């Protein structure tokens, strides 16, 4: 089990972004007092389904070389 802050650090995103995902129902977590905790299995599921798109294309086109 990881805290929300620990899980966010592993994913390379902010804790606020991850908290938003939990509150939106896209990531399962338990609330212990005021702290969310996430299972490692759930974190890996979230990584694979939501962050599993490495090399997403940029919104800008690559510069063309001029000859």
| pLDDT at residue number 54 | 54
| 35 within a domain of the structure (yes/no) | yes
| pLDDT at residue number 40 | 94
What is d(CA 46, CA 65) in angstroms, rounded to the nearest whole number?
Answer: 39
Neighbouring residues of 4: CB distance < 8 A, sequence distance ≥ 6: 15, 18, 19, 22, 29, 35, 36, 37, 38
Q: What is the percentage of the chain residues whose pLDDT exceeds 70? A: 76
| 23 within a domain of the structure (yes/no) | yes
Residue 61 or 35, more confident: 35
| 37 within a domain of the structure (yes/no) | yes
Q: What is the mean pLDDT of the chain?
A: 83
| 56 within a domain of the structure (yes/no) | no
| 55 within a domain of the structure (yes/no) | no
| 16 within a domain of the structure (yes/no) | yes
Average pLDDT over residues 20-41: 93
Dihedral (C-alpha) 26, 32, 37, 42: value to the nearest 10 degrees? -50
| 8 within a domain of the structure (yes/no) | yes
| pLDDT at residue number 49 | 86
Residue with tokens 């599993």: 52
Domain that holds residue 7: 2-50
**pLDDT exceeds cutoff 90 at 28:** yes
Domain count, the chain: 1
């Amino acid at each position: 089990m990881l805290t929300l802050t620990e899980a966010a650090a592993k994913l390379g995103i902010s804790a606020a972004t991850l908290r938003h995902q939990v509150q939106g129902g896209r990531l399962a977590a338990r609330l212990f007092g005021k702290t969310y905790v996430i299972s490692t299995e759930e974190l890996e599921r979230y990584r694979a389904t939501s962050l599993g798109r490495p090399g997403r294309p940029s919104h800008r086109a690559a510069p063309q070389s001029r000859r």
